[in-house]
Structure 1
Amino acid sequence: MSRSSATAVIFVGFFLLGMVFILWGILLPDMAHSLAMSEVVSGAFFTLISMGMIVGAFIGGKYVQKFDFLSLFSVLAVIVTVLLLLLSFVHYWLYLLIGAFLLGIVSSSMFTIGHTLIARLHVAKRSAMMGLMDFMFSLGTLAAPFYVSGLYALDHTWRWPLRVLAVGLVFLAVFAWRTAQKGKKLAPIGEAKNKESLSYGDVIKKPVFLFLALAGVGYGAVEFGNGNWFVSYAQNGRGFDGDKARFIFAFFTAGMVLSRLGFSIFLRWFSNHRLMVILASIMTVGAFTIKLTSDPYIMSFGNFLVGLGLGGLFPLMLSAAMDIDSDKGPLLSGICVIGSSTGVQMASFGTGLWANYAPLATAFWTIPLGASWLWLMAFRYSRELKKRQSVEGAVA
Structure 2
Amino acid sequence: MTNFPDIASIRKDFPILNEVIGGKQLVYFDNAATTQKPRIVLDALSGYYEHYNANIHRGIHHLAEKATGAFEDTRRRMQKFINAPLSEEVIFTYGTTDSINLVAQSYGRKFLKEGDEIIISTMEHHSNIVPWQMLCEEKGCVLRVIPINDEGELLMDEYEKMLSGKTKIVSVVHASNALGTINPVSDIIKKAHKVGAKVLLDGAQASSHLFLDVQALDVDFYALSLHKIYGPTGMGILYGKKELLDAMPPYRGGGEMIKEVTFEKTTYNELPYKFEAGTPNIADVVAAKYALDYVDTLGKDNIAKYESELLKYATDAVREIPGLKIIGQAKDKVSVLSFVIEGMHHQDIAVILDNQGIAVRTGHHCTQPLMSRLGILGTTRASFAVYNTIEEIDSLIKGLHKAKKMLG
TM bucket normalised to smaller: under 0.3
TM-score, with normalisation over the residues of structure 1? 0.26
Higher CA-based Rg: 2
Q: Identify, as 1 or 2, the structure richer in strand.
A: 2
Greater relative contact order structure (CA < 8 Å, 6+ sep): 1
More helix by share: 1
